[in-house]
């Protein structure tokens, strides 16, 4: 998996006793050179990537690297789990096509979720893969029992899609969240100029580096200033990324975001910096 990845994916892999190998990332996502190097000593069953507006970094895997990744997966015989829950939430730059476009390779499973585009409480998502892969999944006992996953909610969501409601909701979300990203960007640049970050083009997250600061300590201080953040170490399979942190724009409006950044600035001031 990418070194800096969704912290709950890390937990889930630990629950299943998986041996995780981390691959370096940069502004254009997974570093292919590092993957090739790792494949000299490891034979993975799969790679888990969040290719678009990544959690936590906001980075998007370039088209070029997507193509390389698919051909490497074919060559080495592993699957790509592309977790693409932010694919539709683009505000300022259209991302490359989803990995759905590469399912004919038979090495790709593209995952989507209604959590970010409709409602997280639905607990409904989708999987897009070649029929040879889907056949195996459909035949498993868990899906056979109960006639499938969540059929009642699926029927409701189907009618939301068919009525055009989902599309309308996504377009509204893109407006609302795009404005929140702008607000957070301006507040951060105005109040915390020492933070190093790239403005995300979509998704929920700002991934910031505060060189020399321990963000776990900042998280504790921030709590007493009534503002939340997630320390970078939570997103590392190597206990690294200690001066990084993730902020989210998904819940609060623009004014609240500005207030949150001011509180964060005050929390930072109360720390002994580098």
Please state, in angstroms and rounded to a whole number, the distance separating the CA atoms of residues 34 and 193. Answer: 32
Choice between 203 and 213, CB closer to ligand PLP: 203
Question: Residue 148 Cβ, how far from ligand PLP at the closest point, in Å?
Answer: 17
Please state, in angstroms and rounded to a whole number, the distance separating the CA atoms of residues 63 and 19. Answer: 28
* 8 A C-beta contact, residue 56 and residue 207: yes
Question: Residue 205 Cβ, how far from ligand PLP at the closest point, in Å?
Answer: 8
Question: Residue 108 Cβ, how far from ligand PLP at the closest point, in Å?
Answer: 16
Choice between 90 and 267, CB closer to ligand PLP: 90
Choice between 142 and 272, CB closer to ligand PLP: 142
Torsion sign (Cα): 83, 92, 96, 135: positive
Question: Residue 55 Cβ, how far from ligand PLP at the closest point, in Å?
Answer: 4
* 8 A C-beta contact, residue 232 and residue 243: yes
Question: Residue 247 Cβ, how far from ligand PLP at the closest point, in Å?
Answer: 14
Choice between 48 and 197, CB closer to ligand PLP: 48
At 146, phi and psi to the nearest 5?
Answer: 85, 5
108's CB contacts (< 8 A; 6+ apart) are 70, 73, 79, 80, 82, 99, 100, 102, 129, 130
Choice between 24 and 115, CB closer to ligand PLP: 115
Residues binding ligand PLP (CB under 6 A)? 6, 50, 55, 83, 85, 113, 115, 120, 125
């Amino acid at each position: 998996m990418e070194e800096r990845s969704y912290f709950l994916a890390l937990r889930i892999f630990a629950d299943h006793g998986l041996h995780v190998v981390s691959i370096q990332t940069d502004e254009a996502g997974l570093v292919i050179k590092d993957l090739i190097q790792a494949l000299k000593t490891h034979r993975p069953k799969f790679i888990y990537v969040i290719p678009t507006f990544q959690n936590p970094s906001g980075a998007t895997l370039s088209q070029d690297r997507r193509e390389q990744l698919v051909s490497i997966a074919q060559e080495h015989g592993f699957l790509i789990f592309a977790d693409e829950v932010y694919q539709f939430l683009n505000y300022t730059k259209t991302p490359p096509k989803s990995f759905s476009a590469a399912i004919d390779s038979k090495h790709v499973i593209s995952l989507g979720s209604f959590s970010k585009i409709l409602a997280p409480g639905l607990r409904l998502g989708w999987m897009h893969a070649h029929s040879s892969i889907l056949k195996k999944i459909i035949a498993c006992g868990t899906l056979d029992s109960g006639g499938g996953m969540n059929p009642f909610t699926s029927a409701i969501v189907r009618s939301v899609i068919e009525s055009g409601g989902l599309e309308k909701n996504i377009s509204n979300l893109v407006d609302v969240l795009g404005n929140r990203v702008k607000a957070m960007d301006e507040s951060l640049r105005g109040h915390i100029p020492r933070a190093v970050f790239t403005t995300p083009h979509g998704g929920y997250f700002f991934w910031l580096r505060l060189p020399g600061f321990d963000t776990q300590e900042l998280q504790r201080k921030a709590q007493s200033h009534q503002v939340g953040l997630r320390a970078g170490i939570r997103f590392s399979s190597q206990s690294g990324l200690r001066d990084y942190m993730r902020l989210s724009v998904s819940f609060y409006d623009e004014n609240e975001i500005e207030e949150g950044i001011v509180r964060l600035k005050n929390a930072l001031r109360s720390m002994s910096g580098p």
